[in-house]
Amino acid sequence: MSRPVVAIVGRPNVGKSTIFNRIIGDRLAIVEDKPGITRDRIYGTAEWNGIPFSVIDTGGIEIDGEDAILKSIRMQAELAIEEADVIVFMCEAKSGLTNADEEVAQILFRSGKPVVVAVNKVDNLSRMDEIYEFYSLGFGDPIAMSGSHGTGVGDLLDAVTVLLPEKEEEHYDEDVIKVALIGRPNVGKSSLVNAILGEERVIVSDIAGTTRDAIDTPFERDGQKYVLIDTAGMRKRGKVYETTEKYSVMRAIKAIERADVVLVVVNGEEGIIEQDKHIAGYAHDAGKASLFVVNKWDVVEKDDKTMQQFTQKIRDHFLFMTYSPIVYLSAKTKQRLQKLLPVVQHVSEQHALRIQTHILNDIVSDAVAINPPPTDKGRRMRINYATQVAVKPPTMVIFVNDPELMHFSYERYLENKIRAAFNFEGTPIRIFTRRKTDKD
C-alpha cells in the first residue's frame, strides 16, 4: 500500500528544502556508497506519532523554460494539489505576507485540499508577532517555525498527521505478484500493459488502485496470479505534466510502494537518459524486486553486438542495480514478449527467498576465511554470526564486536559472496551490522 503524501509548497527562499530535510531527518543523503545513484532531492519518507507518510519538496523540482517566479510557484501548487493528501504552505516571517503568497493561497483554497500554513524564520520570540498577518490566508492557525534552529517542526507534524487519511488496506492474496511499470513518458508503458494482457486477459474487474492515478488490472497466466499497476496517468493531466517530466516521478513512486516487482521500462530507440536513473533509483531505495525492460527493440538497427552493447550501457548507467536482469522486447510486435513474465516470477521468488541461518553463516565464514576484515588503527572487526531477519527485500543482520569497524567495501564484499552463493537475482539485499550483546 502507498503512504499518504504531504507536499511542501511556497515561493522561493522561504526555506522549503530546510524544513523538508528536518522532517525526513536528512535520510535522503546517500548512505550506501554505490556509484551511479543520482537523486532529485524532492522526495522522502517520514514517520510521526506512528504514522508513516511521504514528503514532496516542490522546491527541489527544476522547471524548464521561463524563469518567471509566479509561474514556477503556481506550477508547484498545481503539483501539490494533484499529488498530495495534505499541503504544507511555507511562508516566512522576515518578508511578511506577499502577493505571491496570496496567489498560491487562492489556488490551494480552491483545491479543497487540507492546508497547514507554516511561517518559517521565526528565529526568536520577538518575531512571534509577525505570524499574525498569515491568519488572513484563511487556513487556520499558522505555525511558527525556524528551519535553522529546528523549532516548530513537531508542532507542524502534529497538525499535518491529524489531517492525513487513514491507510487503505490491500485486498490481494499473498500469492499475487503486484507488478508496477515505471519509466519516463513515451517509453511505451501503456502499450506494454496492453501487450501483456492481450486478447486472452482474464480481468475480474478493473479496480481503482489505492492511489488516485494508478489502475490495477488483475490477470492470471500459467497458474500464477498477477496485478498490473499501470502508471499511465503519468502522461496526462494538463500543462503541468507537459512542461516537465520530473513531475511524473511522483506517480511512479506511489506505484513502486505498492509493488512486489518493478519493471523499469527503457526506450530502446532513444537510449538512456538521466531521468531513467532517477526513476530506477526509487525502486532500488524502496527495496523492490526489479528488472529492466528495453522496449521498442523492433525498430533498433541491430548487428550481432547491438544487444551486448546496450546491456553494457545499462550496466554502466545503473551501477547500483547490477542485480537486475534485462529483457529486450517490442510491445508493438510482441517480439520476445513471452520471456517477460517468467522473469517477473523468478525475481519475485528471489525477492522472497529466505536462507537458513546455519547455511548463511557457512557462506559468511568462508568469505571471512578467504578475505579477513582489514584492520583499522590496530583493531580488527570480528564477525560472530549472521542471520536473515526479513524478506522483500532479503535483509541480513551481521553481529560483530564493533559495527564501526565494518567498512562499506567489506560489506559489499560480503554481499557479493552471498549473491554468488544464493543468486538473489533481481532483488537488492540489505545488510545491517549490529554489536553482539550477551542477550544475542
pLDDT band at 58 (very low <50, low <70, confident <90, very high): confident
What confidence score (pLDDT) does residue 57 get? 79
244-280 pLDDT, tens per residue? 444 556 667 778 888 999 999 998 988 887 767 777 8
pLDDT band at 284 (very low <50, low <70, confident <90, very high): very high
What confidence score (pLDDT) does residue 200 get? 40
Whether 120 is covered by a domain: the verdict is: yes
388-423 pLDDT, tens per residue? 999 999 999 999 999 999 998 999 999 999 999 999
Judged by DSSP in three states, 261 sits in strand
Whether 169 is covered by a domain: the verdict is: no
User: Cβ neighbours of residue 200 under 8 Å, at least 6 residues apart?
Assistant: none
Is the pTM value of this prediction over 0.85?
A: no
Pairing of strands 430-435, 215-221: unpaired
10-50 pLDDT, tens per residue? 887 788 888 888 888 754 433 333 444 434 446 778 889 88
Q: What percent of the chain has pLDDT over 70?
A: 80
pLDDT band at 242 (very low <50, low <70, confident <90, very high): very low
Whether 168 is covered by a domain: the verdict is: no
333-390 pLDDT, tens per residue? 999 999 999 999 999 999 999 999 999 999 999 999 999 998 888 899 999 999 999 9
3-state DSSP percent of the chain in helix, strand and coil, to 5: 40, 20, 40
Domain membership of residue 151 as a residue range: 5-163
The verdict on 346 and 363 lying in the same domain is no
Tell me which residue has cell 572487526.
381
- Cβ count near 31 (within 10 Å): 8
The verdict on 97 and 210 lying in the same domain is no
Annotated binding site: 10-17, 57-61, 120-123, 183-190, 230-234, 295-298
Domain end call among 329, 351, 373: 351
The verdict on 319 and 223 lying in the same domain is yes
What confidence score (pLDDT) does residue 168 get? 66
Query: What CATH number corresponds to the domain at position 80?
Result: 3.40.50.300
The verdict on 55 and 202 lying in the same domain is no
286-329 pLDDT, tens per residue? 899 999 999 999 989 888 899 999 999 999 999 989 999 999 99
The verdict on 256 and 337 lying in the same domain is yes
What confidence score (pLDDT) does residue 171 get? 74
Q: What is the mean pLDDT of the chain?
A: 82
The verdict on 119 and 228 lying in the same domain is no
Whether 171 is covered by a domain: the verdict is: no
pLDDT band at 230 (very low <50, low <70, confident <90, very high): low
86-122 pLDDT, tens per residue? 999 999 998 899 888 888 888 888 888 999 999 999 9
The verdict on 46 and 146 lying in the same domain is yes
The verdict on 263 and 405 lying in the same domain is no
Dihedral sign for Cα 52, 207, 278, 196, please: positive
Whether 170 is covered by a domain: the verdict is: no
The verdict on 148 and 199 lying in the same domain is no
Annotated binding site for GTP: 10-17, 57-61, 120-123, 183-190, 230-234, 295-298
Domain end call among 351, 373, 399: 351
Query: Among 174-183, 248-257, 409-418, 425-434, where is mean pLDDT lowest?
Result: 248-257
Rounded Cα distance between 162 and 85, Å, is 12
Domain end call among 351, 369, 394: 351
